[in-house]
Amino acid sequence: MKYDLILENIGQLLTMDYEKEGPLCGRDMDELIVLENKALAIADGRIAVIGSNEEAAMWTAEKRMDCEGKLVTPGLIDPHTHLVFAGSREHEMGLKQQGVPYLEILKQGGGILSTVKATRAASEAELYEKAAGHLDRMLSYGMTTVEAKSGYGLNAEAELKQLRTAKKLNAEHAAEVVSTFLGAHAIPPEHKHQPDVFLEEMVQLLDVIEKEELAQFVDIFCETGVFSIEQSRVFLSKAKQKGFQVKIHADEIDPLGGAELASELSAVSAEHLVGTSDEGIKQLAAKGVIACLLPGTSFYLNKPDHAKARKMLEEGVAVTLATDFNPGSCPTENLQLIMSFAAVIYKMTVKEIWNAVTINAAHAIGLGGERGIIAPMKQADLVIWDAGNYEYIPYHFGVNHAGTVIKKGAIVYEKGDHCEP
């Protein structure tokens, strides 16, 4: 048969353990399937066959790419971003440098609420154009699938505007976008003294979100001065009753016990987890809740503490990593940089890191077994890296190592200057 594209002379091919049912947990994360000197063929957007270079010499295709001994991996997956928003918050850097805490800026009507003001004022077209630019950059970093949360609308009209923008991006942009409804992201000024009335308004939105298929997941910012454990429990339980899977921003600043609540509700994932207790970590492992860790955020907020990734791995938790891309607490689209932070700050091994940004990230956004792996008949989302081995990417930090990015079998990004490592 004639294939569409053949990649040959692949130095190292990371397929990830695609025969594994669920995400990799604990010590299993420190295993990596690395195939040396391979070739693969793509047809109709899917991996057709993986073989030797000698076998590939007999294959025919529209296009052949000589990977010159470079590393090829699944496309990176970012399971936690706030992609769709208007405005920016560079002015907050000065406040943070003066030691004004994140929650204090929010309390004074800044932070999330200043992004809410800009997002409410923006049109859907303006939100789309801005988010598409960020998505272009993510794609250039090798990030082929991205989760996008709402949460800068905080009223029916603006939340739906954000979610419809994300849905349109998923339909039209080369990258894939998975949506999460985070209407419970903060208490808007108009409901400052009646948070429960606001939460009920957000619950009422769930029917139209489900009808228009605008989100697969529902999330809440469970935090001091935002939403309590009890408010989070009620809100997420109502979302589950309506058929949504749930996630939770948990223990980001104060250790309220969000991880324990995530376990109680069998959430798909619990996210941030900087202050999570040892008991909370045990419960995450026991209930198979994926820990989505965001080292860029605790770095950028200059936090003295970071999520206890090593403890989580020792306890058998499934860990994934994400940028937490947002205009306030982590304004970076660069998941490769997050991989470096995970190595330095969390002391995660490079094998654990690669599993965290591929196979485990896929499971955290409902795409387990479909994305974040390279296997026959699976969608061909791949990166050819400007590097000869998988250790090089987190090691050489702060730059973009993606050479060629392939989404559904099509080349969607090619770096102009192929700089040698």
Ligand X SMILES: O=C(O)CC1=NCN=C1
List of residues contacting ligand X (CB under 6 A): 82, 111-112, 115, 221, 249, 252, 326-329
Least distance from Zn ion to the Cβ atom of residue 337, Å: 16
In the complex with ligand X, the residue whose CB is nearer, 328 or 368, is 328
In DSSP terms, 10 is beta-bridged to: 38
Is residue 315 within the footprint of Zn ion (CB under 5 A)?
A: no
The item of Zn ion, ligand X, none sharing an interface with residue 329, based on CB under 5 to 8 Å by kind, is: ligand X
Q: How many residues does the chain have?
A: 421
The span from the CA of 316 to the CA of 252, in Å, is 21
Tokens representing residue 162 in the block: 């954000």
Least distance from Zn ion to the Cβ atom of residue 14, Å: 27
Nearest to 406 by CA among 178, 172, 142: 142
The item of ligand X, Zn ion, none sharing an interface with residue 252, based on CB under 5 to 8 Å by kind, is: ligand X
Nearest to 234 by CA among 182, 196, 179: 196
Is residue 324 within the footprint of Zn ion (CB under 5 A)?
A: yes
Residue nearest ligand X, Cβ-based? 328
C-beta separation of 311 from 279 below 8 A? no
Least distance from ligand X to the Cβ atom of residue 385, Å: 30
The span from the CA of 25 to the CA of 174, in Å, is 31
Least distance from Zn ion to the Cβ atom of residue 16, Å: 25
The item of Zn ion, ligand X, none sharing an interface with residue 328, based on CB under 5 to 8 Å by kind, is: ligand X
Residue 396 phi/psi, 5-degree rounding, is -95, 95
How far does CA 270 lie from the centroid of its chain? Answer: 12
Least distance from Zn ion to the Cβ atom of residue 330, Å: 8
In the complex with ligand X, the residue whose CB is nearer, 225 or 288, is 225
In the complex with ligand X, the residue whose CB is nearer, 257 or 258, is 258
In the complex with ligand X, the residue whose CB is nearer, 249 or 351, is 249
The span from the CA of 419 to the CA of 421, in Å, is 6
Residue 320 DSSP SS3? strand
The item of Zn ion, ligand X, none sharing an interface with residue 221, based on CB under 5 to 8 Å by kind, is: ligand X
Least distance from Zn ion to the Cβ atom of residue 163, Å: 16
From 122-130, 195-203, 321-329, 335-343, span contacting Zn ion (CB under 5 A): 321-329
From 91-99, 163-171, 316-324, 376-384, span contacting Zn ion (CB under 5 A): 316-324
The span from the CA of 170 to the CA of 408, in Å, is 13
In DSSP terms, 385 is beta-bridged to: 402
In the complex with ligand X, the residue whose CB is nearer, 275 or 328, is 328
From 126-134, 189-197, 318-326, 408-416, span contacting Zn ion (CB under 5 A): 318-326
In the complex with ligand X, the residue whose CB is nearer, 145 or 298, is 298
Least distance from Zn ion to the Cβ atom of residue 259, Å: 15
Least distance from ligand X to the Cβ atom of residue 331, Å: 9
The item of ligand X, Zn ion, none sharing an interface with residue 134, based on CB under 5 to 8 Å by kind, is: none
| DSSP E strands, 79-202 | 143-149, 176-184
Residue nearest Zn ion, Cβ-based? 324
The span from the CA of 270 to the CA of 346, in Å, is 17
The span from the CA of 306 to the CA of 301, in Å, is 11
Least distance from ligand X to the Cβ atom of residue 252, Å: 6
C-beta separation of 363 from 318 below 8 A? yes
C-beta separation of 169 from 135 below 8 A? yes
Q: How many residues bind Zn ion (CB under 5 A)?
A: 1
The span from the CA of 242 to the CA of 95, in Å, is 41
Nearest to 232 by CA among 185, 279, 167, 295: 185
Is residue 219 within the footprint of Zn ion (CB under 5 A)?
A: no
In the complex with ligand X, the residue whose CB is nearer, 15 or 150, is 150
Least distance from ligand X to the Cβ atom of residue 89, Å: 7
Distances (CA, A) of 343 to 69, 183, 186: 25, 33, 32
Nearest to 147 by CA among 78, 74, 84: 78
The item of Zn ion, ligand X, none sharing an interface with residue 308, based on CB under 5 to 8 Å by kind, is: none
Query: Which spans of this chain sit near Zn ion (rule: CB under 5 A)?
Result: 324
